[in-house]
Structure 1
């Protein structure tokens, strides 16, 4: 089986999530918007599921592996819904004038989040479609925690690295710097995996492409007028509609990916010919 130590790397991402979101989420869990819960719970469960998939595949636990895989079909809509919940709270905060950070980086955040949605949908769809080709299936599924890595790791940088500490409004540009550095680290990891395994690791090139696109969206499109307009429009839409849209996208991805990966039916003529 490919990537036999992958579950340790995925658990590392889980530890990064715990540390990165401790100040803003876990330590204040009773005082945060519901959108944070929607994203935090779904994303954490998703990372645990990916680690479980990797561990079971390498420890001769294939029945449990298949069960967890089928469970992912039901979890994935909640993952995308949770991500759209973060889009919603970002847009609502911008429209209401909640804090200067969203006023400075709202469009960049929206651009990065939209790329993340596209990345999750693409990677998971292809993981399902190629689930009978182990290298391809594993590569695409293991790419999903990489998309998540940037957000908590950038927070670790601001919390624990003095050079990136936010001491006042004059340091707000460091927020974007930490995001880009975290994405650069993710991109370097994708490149390292591909350089080791080459063509067998082509799914990591796809993941790396999305990470690079996210860097462009967040680092270079922060002044795009259409993103600011989109942010305002989303801010005026009911939260339930934004989250439901994400859930529908996730559900359609699960359905389409599962059906795309089904074995093709053998025709009667092919059976008669011994194919």
Structure 2
């Protein structure tokens, strides 16, 4: 199994979400909407699930637990995916109603960024299920789902020292933009490092993870130049969030079912997972 210490890095990333999202969530939990509570719970749960799976995968006496957690992900992923859709809606809502100077300046860019992240999460999990019998490929697709969360977390962490150093001389919106660029440089470096260290079988997933990081930065910059996209995005923010919750659940469940079916052994009805497989 690859990445013997991966669970430690995932745990670290999970803990870093607390200072990263302190101003936006943890420090004002009583003020935010239910959709952010839902996303915080499911995103944290997803990271814990992946950390537990990575830990169990490297212990012979815990392989059964690894498979149990993998099957649990089949039910948990649609919730996580739906919460990601709700975050996009919450950004659109904040952009439409002027709840933040950051969203006023960058809302449509952040919305396009997060929509691409949602696509990446769905595609990577589908491929992880499809390739669940190839350990090196499966593990890297699963790790890929974390990169949609790593970028926003790193951007907020990078913003803290930048605000301290430049807060008196630069606009908050410019500092946030700089933090986002810096965060993506770091995320891209991590993805390329993982790609370089992967065996031939594992290089394809990490190549697409690297491209996702580049795509996130690019679409953020381009979307901010489109007035048409901004109007469409704000229109999304004026809709009922339940629509996006149900849509996310439906798409997440469809991706899970499709990935599971695609990964079955041809001619097998039960398609019991191979030893060491995730689900």
TM-score normalised per structure 2: 0.90
Runs (4 or more) in structure 1 with deviation over 6 Å come to none
CA contact (8 A) 2:163 2:175 kept: no
Distance 1:169 1:44 in 2: 33
1:37-85 deviations in Å (ceiling 9; x for gaps)? 1111110000001111111000121111111001111111111111111
Distance 1:99 1:162 in 2: 16
- The 1:102/1:248 distance shift into structure 2, 3 A limit, reads same
Match of 2:135 in 1: 134
CA contact (8 A) 2:11 2:51 kept: yes
CA contact (8 A) 1:121 1:253 kept: yes
Distance 1:164 1:16 in 2: 21
Match of 1:273 in 2: none
- Aligned-residue offset at 1:97: 2.5
Moved more, 123-132 or 153-162: 153-162
Aligned ranges for residues 199-238 of structure 1 at < 5 Å?
199-202=200-203, 203-238=205-240
1:205-262 deviations in Å (ceiling 9; x for gaps)? 1111111100101123211233213212212221100221112111111111111111
Match of 1:104 in 2: 105
- Aligned-residue offset at 1:30: 2.0
- Aligned-residue offset at 1:178: 0.9
Aligned ranges for residues 51-200 of structure 1 at < 5 Å?
51-60=51-60, 61-162=62-163, 166=167, 170-200=171-201
Distance 1:96 1:162 in 2: 25
1:177-204 deviations in Å (ceiling 9; x for gaps)? 2112112211111111111224233211
CA contact (8 A) 1:57 1:65 kept: yes
Moved more, 153-162 or 176-185: 153-162
Distance 1:245 1:23 in 2: 29
- Aligned-residue offset at 1:33: 1.5
Distance 2:54 2:102 in 1: 38
Distance 2:3 2:63 in 1: 16
CA contact (8 A) 2:79 2:252 kept: yes
TM-score normalised per structure 1: 0.91
Distance 1:71 1:144 in 2: 16
- The 1:168/1:135 distance shift into structure 2, 3 A limit, reads same
Moved more, 70-79 or 85-94: 85-94
CA contact (8 A) 2:109 2:224 kept: yes
Distance 1:43 1:91 in 2: 19
- Aligned-residue offset at 1:34: 1.3
Q: How many residues align?
A: 267
Corresponding residue SS for 1:31: coil
Distance 2:254 2:166 in 1: 41
